[in-house]
Amino acid sequence: MNDLILTFNTGSSTVKIGSFEWNGSSLHKSAKAGIDFAASPLSFHMERGKERLDLQLQSEASADIVSVLSEVFDKLSAHIDLTRIKAIGHRVVHGGDVFTGPALIDEGSIQAIDDLSAYAPLHQPKSLALIKAIHQLFPNILQTASFDTAFHRTMPDVNRRFAIPREMHDQGIKRYGFHGLSYQSIAQHFNELDPDLGRKKLVVAHLGSGASLCALREGKSVDTSMSFSTLDGIPMATRCGNLDAGVLLHLLSQQNMNADELTDMLYHRSGLLGVSGISGDCRDLLASEAPEAKQAIDLFTTRIAGEISRQATSLGGLDTIIFTAGIGEHQPEIRTHIARKLQWLGVELDGVANDKNAFRISTQSSKIAAFMLATDEEQVIAAETLTVLNQSSQ
């Protein structure tokens, strides 16, 4: 009987769960599920083949995470044989300079992850709480961690540094980069589909409610838009993206905002929502006739096009653009807006292919090829979980 690998991909308000069959030589995703912590009571969905389950949990958003997971595992057990679980792998946003790859969860790694919470205060504690809750429920099941920042350890020093005093860099204030598991997924999958193109100079646009871009050469990270925190880079659904540090000084000194107020504004009231005053969802903004909605879309796509151009400089040229994640995979109009702003670089989309969300969405004559490719962070987590298990057994 095949072993089972479960993966937990913890976001700011959701947890994506993957179930993978391991037959000793290959991994196959057999089911996926998710918990929406933004709903009250919490909502849960599960997909297995053609089977789809949508329901509300009895647990409220304020409930103890152990009781929430206990209810979730109870729902999963009706469809998945949980006695076959070999290990559980987690996405952890920040690995700092401590974790260069996946790691086995033990007391030492838990402490190291906790020590990095100051760098990712909105994400790290949630991952830790989930890890500890699962250990409480299943103390004998091994758990592993896969880190978003690890993929970007290949960035050259010039792209990791801020122009601040050297001692601050040495203390850990530097550009780390995020969405690494997504970029790793795209690099691996794209190379399988076309090894020749996979060796070229790529910019991958991971566009979702959280969004960033990454420049890749030979499948390795060279530069990325997110840096010290998940606030930097392009505007996002509710996050500001790149912002003059002088604005923060002004808000602190002239408007007497405190750290909590700044955090709320920067993470939850800015981005597409802040500019439009309508929504942080591109679908709502594209459907709106309000000038503020159009302005938000224009700002979003202009900043993305500008970041692609900047990363082309880091690469010394550009051969390919790949769009991925929720917006990148499913919203052709956003891709069209971005491509129009990059016509000067020679980007030319095939309108029919783009509207169909095809794999190649650029014309054959386009100087820079453009593709749409689905990301699968859970597959990467599952594969890394097996790697850690194999290493720990040697």
* Residue that has been written with the tokens 């690469």 in this structure: 315
Where does 310-355 show beta strands of DSSP type E? 320-324
* 85 in Cβ contact with 8 (< 8 Å): no
Active site residue 148: yes
* Token output for 306: 């500008």
Q: Which helix (H) or strand (E) holds 60?
A: none
CA 57 – CA 351 distance, rounded (Å): 42
- Among residues 222, 232, 225, 227, which one has the least CA distance to residue 206? 225
| Backbone φ and ψ of 129, nearest 5° | -60, -40
Q: Cα dist. 168→112, 163, 172 in Å?
A: 20, 10, 7
Alpha carbon 124 to chain centroid distance?
Answer: 14
Q: How many residues belong to the chain?
A: 394
Cis peptide before 121 (omega within 30 of 0): no
- Among residues 309, 318, 316, 371, which one has the least CA distance to residue 342? 309
CA 174 – CA 166 distance, rounded (Å): 10
CA 361 – CA 348 distance, rounded (Å): 9
The set of residues, in sequence order, having a beta carbon less than 8 Å from that of 199 and lying 6+ positions away, is: 191, 218, 219
CA 304 – CA 309 distance, rounded (Å): 9
CA 387 – CA 165 distance, rounded (Å): 38
Q: Which of 148, 223, 232, 376 is catalytic?
A: 148
**Sign of the torsion formed by the C-alpha atoms of 347, 373, 152 and 242:** positive
The catalytic residues are: 148
